[in-house]
Chains A and B, each alone.
Chain A
Amino acid sequence: MTSFAGRLKCGLMTSVLWGFSHPAAAVVLDLREGVTDMSRRIQELHHLSLWICVVMGVVVFGAMFYSMFAHRRSRHPQPANFHESTLVEVVWTVIPVLILVFMAIPATTALMDIEDNSDADLTVLITASQWKWHYQYLEADIGFYSNLTTPDEQINNLAPKGEHYLLEADNPLVLPTHKKVRFLVTSNDVIHSWWVPDFAVKQDAIPGFINEAWTRVNEPGLYRGQCTELCGKDHAYMPVVVHVIPEAEFNQWIDDQRLARELASGEAVADRAKTWSIAELMTIGEQVFLGHCATCHEPTGLGQGSTYPALAGGVIPTGPLTAHIDRVMNGKADTEMQAWAPQLSDRELAAVITYERNAWGNATADVIQPRAIYAAR
């Protein structure tokens, strides 16, 4: 707790000095400019509306404060008697209307451009699920999941937090520069929302419906955002990371992805041919478990109440093997226990099921081979 107190003191001081105790040098008070034409237009719209509000605030509050000073009883003992004026009421109804029209015009034109999803060069289907994103390149037929990579030690304050704490993912979405990219956004379970502030793109992912959005990024770089619709327990741990690279590099990356997919299918064949030892499977299984399962079922396998049942001594991990394989591969309908068959390889599934049946005192001694998973698919 000393670091807690130290941090409090440091935070207080920096806050008072309006400084910044973190890597960046200056406090950012503004809506970020972003890297697309649209994000800049939106920032300008933000500035316009902000300054109109500031001016109106200065006028109204200025009048109030002047009145409080000049018309207090000690200076102004006899109150005036006026209490209505139709002319004044009309004036202060009409002037705000004109100001609003002035604000509505740029907002309308920008909105019409935002909603023009036509003529895209590239389409990416974004599918949200609790608490990860899946990106599918429709033209290139490539797809992958994108998961948070921030280690638990950082979240639980056991290790210093990295620069991109909570905003880092294993497989970023990769996009080419200067191309109009259309996003189709949907969800597998609850409502999520895909947001990259630098693109000014925020679109809800709604199960059973497909929403559209688009962007055109001109500057290469890594851009970070988050899920912005409360989607359950790990809503805060669902980063969006987008890596924008020049077109030539992007085409190369697509080719690499295709190659990797072929290699993976070759690897899968080899995995099936091999008979794995329990030690090998337990090692891989522990990694898979910590990476995907432990957020709910806890690294100890003890779970969190009835919502996330304990696996140590649990009914399914110590019960019939087929039921266990079915639950891990296909999930449990209408709960946060999702289907893992599309997300993990045969080897990973075999390993994690083996792990769950033999860790934390679950002494089934069952060893599940990748070929058994392949057969169950």
Chain B
Amino acid sequence: MVAHAEDVVPPRPALLAFAARWLLTTNHKEIGTLYLWLSFTLFFIAGAMAMVIRLELFQPGIQFAQPLFYNQMLTMHGLLMVFGVVMPGFVGLANWQIPLMIGAPDMALPRLNNFSFWILPFAFTLLISSLFMEGGAPNFGWTFYAPLSTTYGPPSTDFFILGVHMMGISSVLGAINIIVTIFNLRAPGMTLMQMPLFVWTWLITAFLLIMVMPVLAGVVTMMLTDRHFGTSFFSAAGGGDPVMFQHIFWFFGHPEVYILILPGFGIASQIIPTFARKKLFGYNSMVYATVAIAVLSFVVWGHHMFTTGMPLFGELFFMYATMLIAVPTGVKVFNWVATMWRGSMTFETPMLFAIGFVILFTIGGFSGLMLALVPADFQYHDTFFVVAHFHYVLYPGAIFGTMAAVYYWLPKWTGHMYDERLGKLHFWVAVVAVNLTFFPMHFSGLAGMPRRVVDYSLQFADFNMVSSIGAGLLGLTQVLFLYIVIKTIRGGPKASARVWDGAEGLEWTVPSPAPLHTFETPPQFPPVMDRDVDEGTPIRNE
């Protein structure tokens, strides 16, 4: 059919053909690639904003960024990293991997898939263009608390609202597509409880997206009507309540932070068994723990709001519920350690990033547990301790997770092995830089430095200087990563179908690089894994 269609269409000029290919593609691999490049591009933009922030905080006093511009930087950094980097990055991985891992020929709704992606460049162009508008970009933090964002927001706030709507539509459509694909297109014989963990975590993430993105859409719409149509949802003067904004926002926001981490859990659960050469320990409990985390994520939003004057009962409820999340999260960490236990491990780059993920994410989890204790939260809240906490769960969590996945699957995508030596260098520099950047923030926070400040008193100077140096180094590692990725795409040792000798699963039964169309006939499940891993694949003694 496809070949026939190509025969009748007259050849197009190269540039037009290139544009048409990527604009009109309905192929899950190509759309996955688009998502990943969008994510990577925005990673550099949002990262550059982080560099501005760290440069300004290098020393006390105002050096590089005036306060209003600084607030725009921290707002855009947060918004772009959350909505533009981590979410599209994970969706890109899902697009590439879910059909390959469940033995499906493509996503269930390919045109919808194309639409979900192509909304995003416009949404982010809209958002980023606000930087160049009169009055500047949104400057109220990525949490856009009312009334700072409503009554007092700059004119560009409306662009932000429209941008968020577009991203939300994209996310919901993408999530529907993933759910439909997973429920309908699994290889014959693959039951839900036989799905790879990455597919499981994405299935749960997709449900979270469907449930909370409309809430986000609701809250920005209420902002819009407050700003322009005379309503007073968030203004006490008209009978509304600014705290209600926070309730609605965090009812979206807390599941959202699990949206940003659950696929990472799935990635670690794929990679660790591969390189430990041992089956994932406690598969069932891993699935149940992920479900438990997702369910609990809907009843803990109040822990972002302990200082808003919440009544005692509310504080106690949200404290206990939040602490409870440590239990399923702990189960996951224990299971990963048990998977490694008495395995036969090698430490290629994906494994290094996965281990870095587990350790550093756990540190972020520990500070999360501390933050759950309401009396202590009164001291930690809105200080750099919180900044340290969520960067520990997001950088080594979401970003390391994505990078681990890229190193793990890049040979499958490109047909080339990446440069192992450079990959390891990338990991080690990144792990040093991450800790250098974010660990001192615990101390500046405990010493009393509020977050989102453009300037600070002298007692915090040394910690900030260390953080800024670490951030500069962390910025450089991204350039190295980009170089490694491009180098791998352009060439490198040929990768075998199975790539890793410990890898299990359907995606390793197709050739590397994966042809544009795979599993046109349903594969056999469980697959027979090819025991031959050819030359060029890194089987080295560590």
Give chain B nearest CB distance to A310 CB in angstroms. Answer: 13
Q: CB-nearest residue of chain B relative to A196?
A: B448
Contact assessment for A307 and B341 in the assembled complex, using a CB-CB cutoff below 8 Å? no
Residue in A28, A42, A167, A306 whose CB lies within 8 Å of B375: A42
Whether A200 touches B459, Cβ cut-off 8 Å, given contacts A32-B446, A49-B369, A307-B68, is no
Chain B: interface size category? 35 or more
Give chain B nearest CB distance to A172 CB in angstroms. Answer: 16
Contact assessment for A202 and B341 in the assembled complex, using a CB-CB cutoff below 8 Å? no
Contact assessment for B340 and A107 in the assembled complex, using a CB-CB cutoff below 8 Å? no
Whether A154 touches B370, Cβ cut-off 8 Å, given contacts A15-B465, A83-B279, A93-B327, is no
Chain B residues within 8 Å of A61, by CB: 359, 362
Whether A236 touches B455, Cβ cut-off 8 Å, given contacts A15-B466, A71-B344, A100-B327, is yes
Chain A: interface size category? 35 or more
Whether A14 touches B462, Cβ cut-off 8 Å, given contacts A63-B341, A166-B456, A228-B450, is yes
Complex: A67 Cα to B242 Cα, angstroms: 51
Chain B residues within 8 Å of A45, by CB: 373, 375-376
Contact assessment for A189 and B147 in the assembled complex, using a CB-CB cutoff below 8 Å? yes
Tell which of B200-208, B280-288, B486-494 binds the partner.
B280-288
Tell which of B55-63, B90-98, B412-420 binds the partner.
B55-63
What is the count of residue pairs linking A and B with beta-carbon distances less than 8 angstroms?
323
Contact assessment for B341 and A67 in the assembled complex, using a CB-CB cutoff below 8 Å? yes
Whether A32 touches B63, Cβ cut-off 8 Å, given contacts A68-B345, A79-B276, A307-B68, is no
Whether A235 touches B452, Cβ cut-off 8 Å, given contacts A30-B446, A208-B241, A307-B154, is yes
Contact assessment for A191 and B147 in the assembled complex, using a CB-CB cutoff below 8 Å? yes
Give chain B nearest CB distance to A3 CB in angstroms. Answer: 10
Whether A307 touches B145, Cβ cut-off 8 Å, given contacts A104-B319, A107-B376, A111-B374, is no
Contact assessment for B136 and A72 in the assembled complex, using a CB-CB cutoff below 8 Å? no
Give chain A nearest CB distance to B308 CB in angstroms. Answer: 5
Chain A residues within 8 Å of B276, by CB: 71, 79
Residue in A28, A56, A209 whose CB lies within 8 Å of B241: A209
Contact assessment for A73 and B345 in the assembled complex, using a CB-CB cutoff below 8 Å? yes
- B483 proximal to A (CB < 8 A): no
Chain B residues within 8 Å of A365, by CB: none
Residue in A164, A232, A306 whose CB lies within 8 Å of B135: A306
Q: A71-B276, A83-B280 are in contact. List 12 more A-B contacts (CB 8 A).
A: A8-B465, A27-B443, A84-B281, A84-B284, A92-B331, A114-B375, A190-B148, A191-B242, A228-B382, A228-B451, A230-B141, A230-B145
Residues of chain A touching chain B, judged by Cβ–Cβ distance below 8 Å, are 4, 7-8, 11-12, 14-15, 20-24, 27-32, 38-39, 41-42, 45-46, 49-50, 53, 56-57, 60-61, 63-64, 67-68, 71-74, 76-85, 88-89, 92-93, 96-97, 100, 103-104, 107-108, 110-112, 114-115, 154-157, 161, 163-167, 189-191, 193, 195, 197, 200-204, 206-209, 211-212, 225-237, 304-307, 334-336
> Could you list 13 A-B pairs, sorted by A, with CB under 8 Å?
A12-B465, A15-B462, A22-B462, A45-B375, A49-B373, A68-B355, A83-B339, A114-B374, A154-B61, A202-B381, A206-B242, A208-B235, A228-B383
